[in-house]
Amino acid sequence: MTRWTDLPTHRAWLQQHAESLLAFGRRTAAPGGGAYWLDAVGRPETDRGVQTWITGRTVHVYSLGHLLGIPGARDVAQGALDGLVGPDAPLRDVENGGWFGTAYPDGTHSEGKEAYQHAFVVLAATSAVRAGLDGARALLDEATRVYLEHFWDDEAGLSVDTWDTAFTTLDPYRGVNANMHSVEAMLAAADVTGDPAWLRRAARIAEFVVGQAESHEWRIPEHFGPDWVPDLELNRDRPDDPFKPFGATVGHGLEWARLLLHLEAALDGVGLSSQTDWYAAAAALFERSVADGWDADGAPGFVYTTDWDGKAVVRQRMHWVVAEAVNTAAVLQARSSRAGDEVAADRYADLYARWWDYADRYVLDHEHGSWFHELDPSNRPAGTVWPGKADLYHAFQTTLVPRLPLAPSMATAVAEGLLRP
């Protein structure tokens, strides 16, 4: 049987779905710049203000939409970008540098500066440069400078996590989530700037995470102290925290597996080597995540988190987890085919199709559009952790990853005409 990723009809469906997602999110751009959190039917939740991580993701997604030739996408991308660059950008901290987490309607801002948010500014800037948006190059120059100056710890080979607003006091917490999205941003920055130092930084982060995962039966510790010793008990009392949940996060095991294969391809492309077997590590992370997370409680879907023995803790189904499962199955299929292991490729292709079937049945909102961001353990729409449909980032990328090579990164690949029709 022909694999779904090889079917022109499936790729056409992915393109159609991409366009429907862009249509759903078209109201996200705020009048003064930045992007709003969206509710269940795509209306902006203006009371939340504009947030840097949503704004960065929106610039990235709609820059890709513009590169795909979708009318109207550039305007949305530019509107979001205007929240990050220029003297009047509501999210830009002109006094202290960097970007506020949130700019509220009353003109106030949230406290603190987070690596997670700043990684998405870097990603946004790279995609915006490829899309030719106004101010994109200036944003990329500023974002990479701020990231290297304040968040990159060259001695550790990892990103720190959170500063106070003035960049004077560094929180002792260290986190893998910010480092994961830093790797994503670094891969894109390497492509757009042509500087392989970004790939070396990404490899250092990934090597650390692979070592930690291997030491914990391929479950990734997410939370660390300032000495980079894992804190495996953090947030046991509030395990469903949206950014710092207790235990192992199933979706991050999947997402890291995918990023390792993108990193491997990027390093190979510029002749950089590593002692890490990225393919083997990706496969191990994938297998652990699937074994722990899929059908873990007798119902279809991936649970959100598990404890360190693989037992489900938070059984909610998050849309981004199945999105990453779909993407990672696709890239593992491609990588195993390249390795000549067609048996493995067939299995990954079967899982890819199975998880799209699950997403279509439960996660895609066929009435109002986009994806339900959270389902309860019975696969009914919920909103205890992720109310509404905040943004399109994870869902939209599922429409591109299966049609793109492992390298270069998304915006560069689309700009260079590497998307399979």
Q: What is the pLDDT of residue 58?
A: 98
Whole-number pLDDT of residue 242: 82
pLDDT tens per residue, range 171-226: 999 999 999 999 999 999 999 999 999 999 999 999 999 999 999 999 999 999 99
Which one is catalytic: 66, 118, 262, 394? 394
Q: Is the pLDDT of residue 332 over 90?
A: yes
Q: Among residues 10, 66, 118, 252, which one is catalytic?
A: 252
Q: By the 8 A CB rule, do 375 and 316 touch? A: yes
Does residue 420 lie in a domain region?
no
Q: What is the mean pLDDT of residues 161-178?
A: 98
What is the pTM assigned to this prediction?
Answer: 0.98
Cα–Cα distance between 261 and 272 in angstroms, integer?
A: 14
Catalytic, 10? Answer no
Q: Is residue 403 part of a domain?
A: yes
The number of helices, as runs of H, and strands, as runs of E, in the chain is 13, 12
At residue 151 the predicted structure's pLDDT band, cuts being 50, 70 and 90, is very high
Return the half-sphere exposure (C-beta side, CA atoms, 13 A cut-off) of residue 305.
23
Identify whether 102 is part of a domain. Answer: yes
In a domain, 166, yes or no: yes
Give me the mean pLDDT over the 63-92 stretch. 98
Confidence of residue 240 (pLDDT cuts 50, 70, 90): confident
Q: What is the CATH number of the domain that holds 29?
A: 1.50.10.10
Query: d(Cα 79, Cα 238) in Å, to the nearest integer?
Result: 36
Contact 402, 352 (CB under 8 A): yes
User: Is 66 part of any domain?
Assistant: yes
pLDDT over 90 at 361, yes or no: yes
Rounding to the nearest 10 degrees, give the CA dihedral for residues 192, 193, 194, 197.
-120
Domain boundaries, position 221:
4-415
**pLDDT, mean of residues 59-72:** 98
Q: How many structural domains comprise the chain? A: 1
In a domain, 46, yes or no: yes
Residue 26: band (very low, low, confident or very high) from pLDDT cuts 50, 70, 90:
very high
More confidently predicted of 203 and 385: 203
